[in-house]
Amino acid sequence: MTLSWLPNAISLLRILLVAPILVLVARHEFVMALALFLVAGLSDGLDGYLAVRNGWTSRLGSLLDPAADKLLMTGLFVMLAWIGFIPAWLAAVVIARDLIIVVGAIAYNFLVRPVPGEPSRISKMNTALQMLFVLFVLSQAAFGWPDEITLTILGAAILVTVVISGVDYVLSWSRRARAGE
């Protein structure tokens, strides 16, 4: 019996963790929210490692993994902005980029061909920075660490990578669409 289903199950678990994490943040139960967020973050690394190392990659997995990331990060950026822990403009920029990517992926899928589920390096960096930012925001809310300047610098890095990765997606998908790839 093969365990090739395991990476997809881990991605589904991460999706299921979104609602409890958001409820905990809304209730200002930051220590528990931070703990569940860490579980979600570790599961993100684990499912990718298992899929690549064992050759258990699949079309479903290439869609589930980024969907889980987007649901978790979008939900947390909205919730953290709603309760005043991050600037609303930063949440809006992050969500706008994700909407552009999702709408672009849907259009590409229906007008050109199935979307290749391969994020660019800058997109991976952006996701990592977003996860680190949320980790630090939750940590600051729970334990008072790190300081504001760290969050400000990280927020600025997210803004830069959001813009670059958003433009990168639009340009690369446009180029592929024109080439019929």
Reported as a single tens digit per residue, the pLDDT across 110-136 is: 888 877 667 789 998 999 999 999 999
User: Number of C-alpha atoms within 13 angstroms, CB side, residue 51?
Assistant: 21
Give yes or no for residue 180 having a pLDDT over 80: no
pTM: 0.91
Encode pLDDT of 8-61 as tens digits: 999 999 999 999 999 999 999 999 999 999 999 999 999 989 999 999 998 898
What is the percent of the chain where pLDDT is above 90?
71
Ordered structural domains, the chain, with CATH: 6-179 (1.20.120.1760)
Q: Which of 73, 70, 90, 97 is nearest to 167 (CA)?
A: 97
Per the prediction, the chain carries an average pLDDT of: 92
Rounded Cα distance, 108 and 110, in Å = 6
Distance separating alpha carbons of residues 25 and 110, to the nearest angstrom: 37
CB count within 10 Å of CB 14 equals: 25
Average pLDDT (73-83) is: 97
Contact of 84 with 132, CB cutoff 8 Å: no
